[in-house]
Amino acid sequence: MNILDQIVAVKREEVARLRPQAGELKQAATARKDFRDFAAALRRTDAVALVAEIKKASPSKGVLNPNLDPERQAVIYTEAGACAISVVTEEDFFLGDLSWIRRIRRASSLPVLRKDFIFEAFQIYETRAAGASAILFIVAMLEPAELKEFIALAQEQGLDALVEIHDEVELEEALRAGASIIGVNNRDLKTFSVDVSTSLRLARLIPDECVFVVESGLTSRADIERLLEAGADAFLVGEHLVGSADPAARLRGLL
């Protein structure tokens, strides 16, 4: 069993426990009227569009920041020039928490992307109810029909969908499902190995009308410039920032 399969197996148990709350979560999601435009933030033209990520740990590297304060990190990212904030809410492998979304929203005016392992519709309501502006769908863990249904449901709930791919086959599935924001993850979720050339290879295949977001493995301004030349619209950076003693300086260095 690869790492992604292990994470999904644990997550399915968690989701099963929460499923009885689906009706309540749907009501809470529908009641929210506040909206921060994540897609528009990715299309900014005044500076590089960089989504700065908050996550406490990863399966491959363990705890990244044992003293992580989501609110403080959000303020640092906002003041340093991020266009949006990504937060990893998965609890068992990444030590995240869904409540961080609310805390981050109170600390920052930026739109918030929820990154987790989504495979049931009620998780979309849960995400909107928590106050997120966008949600991550991972093509590798969803059937084509599910992905199409989830993208449509997210749109109904006022959520932008970042659809994550890792290869050509997954890109085709994402486009057929109606994805308009494509995230190329340079990290293989089955092995957690990272190769930035993945984004360079797939760049020419992503339609111009889609927002092309590069995820994982970005550590220098040279990385950003090379990918901008290849056609990238935005970047999502996590470990390079969250594990730093001076995340603001690192973020500004990338911008």
Question: Catalytic residues, which ones?
Answer: 53, 55, 115, 164, 185, 215-216
- The single residue listed with the structure tokens 């005016």 is 109
Q: Quote the crossing angle between the two packed helices 247-254 and 221-230, to the nearest 10°.
A: 40
SS3 185: strand
CA distance 169 to 164: 12
Q: Are 165 and 184 in contact (CB under 8 A)?
A: yes
Write the single-letter amino acid at 224: I
Q: Which of 106, 102, 108 is nearest to 126 (CA)?
A: 102
Is the torsion defined by CA of 166, 206, 127, 113 positive or negative? Answer: positive
What the block records as the tokens of 170 is 């997954």
CA distance 104 to 20: 27
Strand pairing class (84-88; 112-115): parallel
- Hey, what's the torsion of the CAs at 194, 198, 203, 204, to 10 degrees? 180
